Structure 1
Amino acid sequence: MRLDPTDVRYITADSFRVLTAVEMGSKNHEVVPSSLIAQISALRHAGINKLVSDLAKRKLVSRVQNNAYDGVRLTYGGYDYLAVRALSKRKSIYSVGHRIGVGKESDINLVASEDGEQRVLKIHRLGRISFRKVKEKRDYMGKRSSASWMYMSRLAAEREFEFMQALHKFGYPVPTPIDQARHTIVMSFEDAYPLRQIVALPEDQVHKLYSVLMALIVRLAHDGLIHGDFNEFNLLVREIHEEDEDEDEDAQNTEVATEELLQIESKGVVVEKGKGFERLVVAQDSEEEEEEEEDDDEECIEIADGVQVEPILIDFPQMVSIDHANAEYYFTRDVDCIRRFFKTRFRYESSEYPTFAQVMAAMPHHRDRIDRITKASGYGRLVQKDPLDSLFERMRMGDAAIEVAGDSSTDAAEESDAYEDDEESDAHEDKSADVSFSDDPSVDATRKPRKPKLDASEVATRVAHAQTSSARRTQKHHGRKSQATKTGRLHGGGKAKSNKSRVVQDSLVF
């Protein structure tokens, strides 16, 4: 789904209030009823139908006609508008540009601040057809058994923003985190190329880049983290020029931008004006846009000789702790991805590469670990179980309970036999009690005396006394109940507030 912020300026405050109410109601309802929307938004019920119809026309909510009740469901478009509005209020973004990248779980848009600084807006969109096993592979849900895709997208954005802040604080080559709202993240724009688009590098830079990437994997492991998706799709390469070359390049970029603007004006430009903004709009077919995007994706970059490069790491939601149960597998996969890419793309294969055993052997114990700060997945071996595993475990516990219930009769018989054996052993111990005591008086003082056994006559007396007490309680209860009914009380039992009940109570005392 493409972000289209054109209608943001036309949506009223009441419409955003209704949209927020739908979002809050979605926590407990798959389809939010209109009565709940009116209760949360504190608006008149008659005016809500018109606002919901307006939002449905813009595809920010979708109407659902249910058998029990009719309601609406929040769409990704409405969730995008809520996030963009929140970021705009915080002055993190001022304008939204075109989409510059599409991934299996997110969209990347170019945005700008109020000062004109270019930034990147990453929108998480979990639940796509190509990436629906995220509930099994990652522990976004925690102890929850189920969650919507929108809520999981929000959890993924929060997790990635937390990782990005920690890595930037520790000096890693990552984009600068700026802000996060719902399922979106605002970060700095890095003027770099994706590693997958680079087809040629200077010979001296191939070995250097390979060494830097391997060192980056080891450094992450020493700080307690494993990227888990360390490949050419999540790595950017930035060129490093000298100052003179940078000035010449800026002049060339200015000339190229001027030529492109002249070409655009020759095609026919429509200037759209609004409150404090002007933008150029060029009529272009959707097919041509798709072809241009495909050409951009297939663009090949060749780094000239004499230019140095440095990597930039992106995409962090899937990062796990070094204590994860599958840490060795993820670490080895990251290393193999880089080795395979350099072998196929640059015909470079090195016999030197880190292993998980070597990294764990040289693990520093005095430094602060990022997995402890961010509580990464697998930290302390507390890995979230798969929901199916939890279900099977509960089923096994249920079967065990049934087996215990089925064996209760045999256990009772065994207990009766054991009770008879215990009586015989007690009788034997009574006979040898004088021999087993120690001669030390201190030992005899601390030993608890054994309870004497009761005779048959004393047992019968106690049983008769217990039966008499039970009969008294029963007769007393029934007397109170009948007297309470006579005095007009609505319930039986308890003390009745009359003299008659007191006479009855006195007659029951022997």
Structure 2
Amino acid sequence: MAQVFRAAHMVRELEHEDIRVLTGIELGMRRFEFVPMDQISYYARIPKSETEYRLNKLHKSGILQRNSQLGYVGYQLISESYDVLALNALTQQKVIIAVGDLIGRGKESDVYIAKLPTGKECALKIHRIGQTSFRQIRKLRNYIQKRRHISWLYVSRLSAESEFEALKKIEPLKVNSPIPYGQNRHMVVMSLIEGTEISTVPELADPEEVLNKILHQIEIIYEKGDIIHCDLGEFNLLVTLEEDVQIIDWPQWESTDHPNARSYLERDLTNINVFFRKNYGVEFDQEKYLEHLLQL
């Protein structure tokens, strides 16, 4: 059984006190790598005897890591227990009511079909940032540089929060971007994404037109949304059968007033130009277009 399905099952099976204990560990992990039981009891607002019972139960179920080599017994959330907390919150908030099949997997996220309370299908994107990915994600490094220790669960949460914020800013621009429905911890709920990665499309019927559509979206998002993607390339550009374009994966975005805005924008444009030149012999005047955007 996939981890997220096991987590969804546990959401239905766990008691309210179990969720409070998991939340207590989450709060304690701001200060401790492994949270002592007395701190968990304090954060969960549950007596120590009850906390101990719940911790043993959760540990036996395999969703907690326990360490007794620290001079005390400490507990730490793992990715599955974080899934439980996020899914519990999203269902309690009536953002989603069910999780279905895996429909996409990348280096830093998994995407599942989910269902809204209306019965409509949507996408549930679960950010899973590991140590290797973290080294490459400049924005997340900047967020946490002053913290003494860092949980990869927290880094994944930052990634999801950043993407959700970007999607909310982009949605009113009507540029065929996913509609954001909700976010909790490392999970983002959005409308289903249509299309295929442009890197895997065998042949475009009109590559120049597709390139123009991409540049048009970049311009609208830059001018009206004040957003730069900062990680744009052929792996996060989707193309439909009708050759409509959708830009996805926004956790690394920056504002257009960022001190390094020019270099981020230039890198995005370079990636697009290189891809189209290499695969289709089509390109645009990058320097001219860059100056055009910067003057908007």
TM-score by length of 2: 0.88
Is the aligned partner of 1:344 residue 2:283?
Answer: no
- Is the contact between residue 104 and residue 128 of structure 1 (CA under 8 Å) also seen in structure 2? no
For 2:265, the aligned partner's letter is: F
TM-score by length of 1: 0.53
* Residues 10-159 of structure 1: pairs in structure 2 closer than 5 A: 10-134=13-137, 138-141=141-144, 144=147, 147-159=150-162
Q: Distance in 1 between matches of 2:262 and 2:118?
A: 46
- Offset of 1:138 from its aligned partner? 4.5
Number of the residue aligned with 1:209:
210
- Offset of 1:111 from its aligned partner? 0.9
Unaligned runs of 5+ in 2: none
Unaligned runs of 5+ in 1: 240-307, 364-510
* Residues 393-404 of structure 1: pairs in structure 2 closer than 5 A: none
- Is the contact between residue 233 and residue 272 of structure 2 (CA under 8 Å) also seen in structure 1? yes
- Is the contact between residue 126 and residue 132 of structure 1 (CA under 8 Å) also seen in structure 2? no
Number of the residue aligned with 2:222:
221
Q: CA RMSD in A?
A: 2.3
For 1:148, the aligned partner's letter is: S
For 2:238, the aligned partner's letter is: L
Q: Distance in 2 between matches of 1:128 and 1:97?
A: 28
How many residue pairs align between the two structures? Answer: 291
Of 255, 260, 263, the residue aligned with 1:329 is: 263
Q: Distance in 1 between matches of 2:102 and 2:284?
A: 40
Displaced runs of 4 or more, over 6 A: none
Q: Distance in 2 between matches of 1:192 and 1:314?
A: 11
Q: Distance in 2 between matches of 1:164 and 1:84?
A: 20
Change (3 A) 1:12 1:319: same
- Offset of 1:144 from its aligned partner? 4.8
Q: Distance in 2 between matches of 1:131 and 1:104?
A: 11
- Is the contact between residue 157 and residue 187 of structure 2 (CA under 8 Å) also seen in structure 1? yes
Change (3 A) 1:136 1:235: closer
For 1:230, the aligned partner's letter is: L
- Is the contact between residue 104 and residue 131 of structure 1 (CA under 8 Å) also seen in structure 2? no
Number of the residue aligned with 1:171:
174
- Offset of 1:137 from its aligned partner? 6.6
Q: Distance in 1 between matches of 2:143 and 2:214?
A: 28
Number of the residue aligned with 1:238:
240
- Is the contact between residue 33 and residue 72 of structure 1 (CA under 8 Å) also seen in structure 2? yes
- Offset of 1:160 from its aligned partner? 1.4
Between structure 1 and structure 2, the one with the greater Rg is 1
Number of the residue aligned with 1:9:
12
Deviations 1:360-391 (A, max 9, x none): 2x32xxxxxxxxxxxxxxxxxxxxxxxxxxxx
For 2:60, the aligned partner's letter is: K
Deviations 1:226-278 (A, max 9, x none): 21111121112234xxxxxxxxxxxxxxxxxxxxxxxxxxxxxxxxxxxxxxx
Q: Distance in 1 between matches of 2:243 and 2:175?
A: 16
Of 280, 290, 293, the residue aligned with 1:359 is: 293
Deviations 1:164-207 (A, max 9, x none): 101112323210000111121100113322222211222xx322
Identity over aligned pairs, percent: 32
Q: Distance in 2 between matches of 1:309 and 1:22?
A: 47
What SS class does the counterpart of residue 188 from structure 2 fall into? strand
Q: Distance in 2 between matches of 1:133 and 1:194?
A: 21
Q: Distance in 2 between matches of 1:22 and 1:326?
A: 38
- Offset of 1:2 from its aligned partner? 4.1
Change (3 A) 1:152 1:131: closer
- Is the contact between residue 120 and residue 187 of structure 1 (CA under 8 Å) also seen in structure 2? yes
* Residues 265-276 of structure 1: pairs in structure 2 closer than 5 A: none
